Amino acid sequence: MHKYIISGKSSSDFAAAMLNKPQDRLKIIQPFLDAFGIKKHEFLFTTGLENDFLGVLSSDSDETIEAMVRIVFASGNFSNISWSRAYESDEYMKVFELGSRKMADYVTSMQVAEIE
């Protein structure tokens, strides 16, 4: 499973609903995450930041996270929400190992201009 960081800015609709009926959002969201096979590591609301939500999740695929995030955004609970893949240190090293092996295959636009 891959790790992902989800961050977002809750909407005024979210705030109004929570003020009207305060509730533990994780208890409501957990079955939704389970339906996608997504594991929750962190589910945090923050203050003092541009975004006021941060989640750390695990999933088998980028597509699963993208689908989940699009549904959450469509709900109107967030005015802004995005995700990014997160790597453990050893995983990130492998990204650079791959890049190092493939670097010789990259042709810059300057090199193309010299060939023509």
Closest by Cα among 51, 68, 64, 47 to 1: 64
Instruction: Give the bridge partners for 86, in sequence order.
Output: 3
Rounded to whole angstroms, the Cα distance separating 91 from 62 reads 16
pLDDT for res 102: 83
Which residues sit opposite 23 in a β-bridge? Answer: none
What domains can be seen in the chain, in order of their start residue? Answer: 2-87 (3.30.70.1060)
pLDDT of residue 107: 67
- Alpha-carbon distance of 14 to 40, in angstroms, equals 21
CA dihedral 37, 6, 79, 44 (to 10 degrees): 100
104 DSSP assignment: G
Span 38-95, pLDDT tens digits? 999 999 999 877 899 999 999 999 999 999 999 999 999 999 999 999 999 999 999 9
pTM, full prediction: 0.81
87-109 average pLDDT score: 86
Amino acid 110: pLDDT: 66
78, 12 Cβ separation under 8 angstroms: no
How far apart are the C-alpha atoms of 23 and 89, rounded to whole Å?
Answer: 36
**What are the pLDDT digits (tens) for 7-41?**
999 999 999 999 999 999 999 999 999 999 999 99
